[in-house]
Amino acid sequence: MVGAYEALILGTSTWGDGELQDDWYDGIKVLKGMDLKDKVIALFGCGDSESYGDTFCDGMGILYEDLKDSGCRFVGAVSDADYTYSSSVSVIDGKFVGLAIDDMNESDKTERRIASWTDLLKAELA
């Protein structure tokens, strides 16, 4: 199924203490077993920066780590400048590896964040 697509958009909440959403545990094994060379992957994650500021959206970073050596190309990294958090494994050099959404504390920013991100994806996929 995945083989039919050039680009994949993958998302996860962060559960527990910086863990991947349970639903992903089987799915990530399937993806890791596939040939993802030349696939384009965009990631998004949902988290809570106020209650879980030291593991904010870590699940998205776990997906990134699991897939980064697969030969795929990631698109849609987002600056962390607009977020308040202490630590996140999904941030590399000041950018989230995808779109971080915090609908618990910053729901007023969600629509604009998604709109900016989809514009970014369109530009990076063009």
CA atoms of 47 and 104, how far apart (whole Å) = 8
Is position 14 an interface residue for ligand FMN (rule: CB under 6 A)? yes
Question: With respect to ligand FMN, which residue has the nearer C-beta, 46 or 67?
Answer: 46
Is position 61 an interface residue for ligand FMN (rule: CB under 6 A)? no
Is position 90 an interface residue for ligand FMN (rule: CB under 6 A)? no
Q: Which of 56, 64, 96, 117 binds ligand FMN (CB under 6 A)?
A: 56
Integer Rg of the chain from CA: 14
Select from 33-41, 53-61, 74-82, 114-122 the region that touches ligand FMN (CB under 6 A): 53-61
- 101's CB contacts (< 8 A; 6+ apart) are 44, 45, 46, 47, 57, 110, 113, 114
CA atoms of 13 and 8, how far apart (whole Å) = 17
Residues in contact with ligand FMN by CB under 6 A are: 13-18, 21, 46-48, 52, 55-58, 103-104
